[in-house]
C-alpha cells in the first residue's frame, strides 16, 4: 500500500505507526511524504519518497497534492495539519477518481471545525458543553456578556498561535491581524480526546489522554484515561457532525466550576496520536483496512493508564 502523508514535518511517530500497522496487516507499505522544504523535514528524510509542494495556503496546493497522488499512485492520502483540510476537502471527489482514499471529512464538517466561532455555536446549539464564545464586535459592544478575564485566540488559528488573555474590555485592541474569538478563561486539567469514526459514520473508538505537559501546543507528556463523561461528549460531537469520518480529536478543559468544556476540534490526526496508537487504538491500521476495502477492526479496548514521555531525537544526512 502506498500512503501519502501531507505536511509531514516532524511527524516521524505517525510515519512509524503506519509502518507498524503494515506489519500487523502483513502487507508491504511505501510512505510518500511531502513538505514545503522536504530537505529540512525529519519525516520526509525517513519516508521512502519525499515530494516538495507549495505552502498549503497557496492556490496551487491542492492541485500539487492531486498530481503527486496520481504520479505515485497513492492509495491513502493523510493530511496532518489544519490548513491542509479545507483545500483538500474542496477537491475530495478528484481523489476518488484516482482511486485514492482521502482522509478528510466532508467539506461541511471542515468548514465548521476550521472556524472556532462556528464550532462553538454549532456545538452549543446541540447541547455539547463549550465555553461562552463571543466575536470582537459582541464583546466590545457589550462586555458584560462574559466574565473577566477572557481568553482570546484566532478563529481560524492552529498550533497555539496568537493566544492572549485580556483582563478588561479596555485592554482589547481595536484591530487584530485576523478574526478573533473571546471565551471564558477556563482553569483545570486539559485533555485531548482522540476518536475514530468508520466510513459508515459509526463512532468506534474514544480514547482521552491527560495533557500533563505540552510544548508548542503539542503534548509532550500524557497518560490515557477512561472517562465516561468525555466519551459522552465525543458521542455528542459525532451526532452533531454526522459527516465526520476517520480520525479526529478534540481538546477539553475540565474546569472545576463549569465542568468539561470543548475548546476546539481537529478533524485529523492529533500530534499526540502515537500515545493512542501505543495504547492499542491503532487508527493508522484501521484507515489502511478501509483504504484496502477490508472490514475495519476498530474497537474501544485500548489500555488505560499508558503514559507517554517524549524526548528529542535526530535524523542525520550526509
The answer to whether the CB of 32 falls within 8 A of the CB of 3 is yes
- Percent above pLDDT 70 for the chain: 98
Please say if the pLDDT value at position 49 is more than 70. yes
Q: Please, which residues have CB within 8 angstroms of residue 231's CB and are 6 or more apart in sequence?
A: 206, 208
When pLDDT is cut at 50, 70 and 90, the band that residue 97 belongs to is very high
What is the per-residue pLDDT across 178-225, written as a single tens digit (0 to 9) for each?
888 899 999 999 999 999 999 999 999 999 999 999 987 789 999 999
The b/e string for 182-219 (b: 16+ C-beta within 10 A; e otherwise) is: bbbbbeeebbbbbbbbbeeeebbbbbbbbbeebeeeeb
Q: Note the pTM of the prediction, 2 decimals.
A: 0.93
CA gap 121, 159 in Å, rounded:
22
When pLDDT is cut at 50, 70 and 90, the band that residue 275 belongs to is very high
CA gap 220, 281 in Å, rounded:
19
CA gap 86, 17 in Å, rounded:
25
Amino acid at each position: 500500500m502506498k500512503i501519502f502523508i501531507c505536511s509531514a514535518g516532524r511527524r516521524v511517530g505517525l510515519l512509524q505507526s503506519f509502518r507498524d500497522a503494515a506489519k500487523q496487516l502483513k502487507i508491504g507499505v511505501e510512505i510518500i511524504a511531502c513538505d514545503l522544504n522536504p530537505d529540512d523535514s525529519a519525516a520526509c528524510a525517513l519516508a521512502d519518497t519525499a515530494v516538495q509542494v507549495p505552502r498549503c495556503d497557496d492556490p496551487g496546493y491542492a492541485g500539487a497534492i492531486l498530481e503527486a497522488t496520481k504520479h505515485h499512485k497513492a492509495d491513502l492520502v493523510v493530511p496532518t495539519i489544519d490548513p491542509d483540510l479545507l483545500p483538500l476537502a474542496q477537491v475530495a471527489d478528484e481523489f476518488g477518481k484516482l482511486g485514492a482514499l482521502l482522509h478528510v471529512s466532508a467539506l461541511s464538517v471542515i468548514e465548521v471545525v476550521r472556524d472556532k466561532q462556528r464550532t462553538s455555536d454549532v456545538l452549543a446549539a446541540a447541547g455539547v458543553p463549550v465555553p461562552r464564545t463571543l466575536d470582537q464586535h459582541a464583546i466590545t459592544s457589550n462586555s458584560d456578556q462574559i466574565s473577566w478575564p477572557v481568553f482570546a485566540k484566532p478563529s481560524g488559528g492552529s498550533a497555539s498561535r496568537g493566544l492572549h488573555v485580556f483582563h478588561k474590555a479596555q485592554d482589547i485592541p481595536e484591530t487584530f491581524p485576523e478574526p478573533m474569538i473571546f471565551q471564558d478563561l477556563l482553569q483545570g486539567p486539559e485533555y485531548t480526546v482522540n476518536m475514530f469514526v468508520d466510513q459508515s459514520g459509526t463512532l468506534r473508538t474514544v480514547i482521552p489522554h491527560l495533557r500533563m505537559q505540552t510544548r508548542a501546543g503539542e503534548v509532550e507528556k500524557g497518560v490515557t484515561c477512561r472517562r465516561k463523561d468525555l466519551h459522552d461528549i465525543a458521542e455528542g460531537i459525532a451526532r452533531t457532525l454526522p459527516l465526520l469520518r476517520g480520525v479526529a480529536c478534540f481538546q477539553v478543559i475540565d474546569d472545576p466550576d463549569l465542568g468539561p468544556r470543548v475548546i476546539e476540534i481537529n478533524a485529523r490526526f492529533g500530534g499526540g496520536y502515537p500515545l493512542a496508537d501505543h495504547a492499542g487504538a491503532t487508527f493508522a491500521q484501521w484507515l489502511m483496512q478501509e483504504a484496502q476495502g477490508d472490514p475495519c477492526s476498530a474497537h474501544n479496548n485500548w489500555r488505560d493508564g499508558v503514559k507517554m514521555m517524549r524526548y528529542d531525537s535526530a535524523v542525520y544526512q550526509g
